[in-house]
Amino acid sequence: MKGKISGPRDYFYNIPKNILLGVLLTLSVTITLIGMRKTVTINLDGKEIKAVTFKSTVSKVLQSEKIVVGPKDKASPELDQKIKNGDIINIKKAVDVYIQVDGKNLNLKSAEDNVKDLLLAEEIKLGEDDKISPQLSSTITSGISIKIVRVDAKIVEEKKELDYAIIYKSDNSLIIGTNKVVQDGEKGEKLITHKLIYEDGKIVSSKVLSEVITKNPVAKIINRGILGVLNISRGGTQVYYTKTLKFKTSAYTAASCGKSSSSSGYGRTATGVYAKRDPYGYSTIAVDPRIIPYGTKLYIPGYGLAIAQDTGGAINGYKLDLYFNTLNQCYSWGVRYVNAYVLK
């Protein structure tokens, strides 16, 4: 009988069982280890590190490579994420950042890409009108200094007093040098609306938005005396005058008017009364009624009290013709310039 040919099965049957179990265990462990073995790339701030590892998570791989991840460092994928062969682990180390805000100087660590992301991460809110330097899109670099200026606008209302005007009026019922308040003044009020701009609590600009008068001032009215006092006799007789005027004066009598003493109009003035010279009362004078109206009383130094009752063809402008009883008195007066007082 021919001999039987042995196969692999017969081969293994001829190997002792303990040796066979050891071989199978070793093979199983080898296959398992090969399955657990991974090659990953660690990108540390742009520097690539190749690592062969049997670790299962990002944090364990980094620990095995003695790479410490700080609280502000960024890792992608997250530290507790599982990894597989060929994965890339990105690590961005936080850098020193200096921020001046709200009266504080902050020294922070950050791995954010730009200023905007940094503020979000640190929960620093930026108001609509706040100023920031450098701008939000600026890249975060080591030692960067960021300044935030808080800008605030406030509307403020201010009440302002308005002074009243003082009006003086001439009063010919009051003696010169005396005054009389006939209406008290009252201050007014104005409401001014300002827009104030504050930077870090300090006013940097102010703009008036509106001005509204809420109460009009009332003028103070004072009557000022223009009435002069004139002593016309040693006995202390006084007359009151409202003004003085300079006149060129001459003299006339009833006879010098060109009418005979037998005429019905002899001695009669333009106003219809008879001319008279009264040393103790009012004497007749001729005036230009456009300058001195009829009936006006005057005091003429050297002549006395007078009343405008007559006129003449040669009397125009600032001229007066004084009535006397005789021609000799007229010649004695002659022509003079006087300051006449217009009486009240």
pLDDT, tens digit (0-9, with 9 covering 90-100), for 237-292? 889 999 999 999 999 998 766 556 667 678 899 999 999 999 889 999 999 999 99
Q: 289 vs 30, which has greater pLDDT?
A: 289
Handedness of CA 261, 267, 273, 277 (dihedral sign): negative
Q: Which fold has domain 95-149?
A: Ubiquitin-like (UB roll) (3.10.20)
Tell the residue number behind the tokens 């299962």, with chain if given.
56
pTM: 0.53
Structure-block tokens of residue 267 = 């001695």
Query: Where in the chain are the domains?
Result: 38-68+75-91, 95-149, 157-220, 232-343
CA nearest neighbour of 317 among 283, 284, 289, 285? 289
For 82-107, the pLDDT digits (tens) are 998 988 999 999 999 999 999 999 99
Residue among 68, 109, 75, 117 nearest 92 (CA): 75
Alpha-carbon dihedral 7, 13, 15, 17, rounded to 10 degrees: 150
In percent, how much of the chain has pLDDT > 70?
87
Q: So what's the pLDDT on residue 8? A: 56
pLDDT at residue 274, as a whole number: 92
Per-residue tokens: 290: 């456009």
Amino acid at 76: S
User: Per-residue pLDDT averaged across 152-157, rounded?
Assistant: 95
| 68 pLDDT above the threshold of 70 | yes
Residues 6 or more apart from 344 whose CB is under 8 A from it? Answer: 172, 173, 227, 240, 241, 242
The pLDDT confidence band at residue 66, using thresholds 50, 70 and 90, is confident
Give residue 29's pLDDT: 47
Average pLDDT for the chain: 89
Mean pLDDT over residues 188-202, rounded? 96
Tell which wins on pLDDT, 232 or 317: 317
Residue 23: pLDDT over 60 = no
Q: Quick check: 62 pLDDT over 80?
A: yes
Q: Which residue has the higher pLDDT, 323 or 68?
A: 323
Asked whether this chain's domains 95-149 and 157-220 adopt the same fold, the reply is no
Domain topology for 232-343:
Barwin-like endoglucanases (2.40.40)
Q: Quick check: 209 pLDDT over 60? A: yes
> 3.40.50.800, 2.20.230.10, 3.40.50.12280, 1.10.3720.10: which CATH number matches 157-220?
2.20.230.10
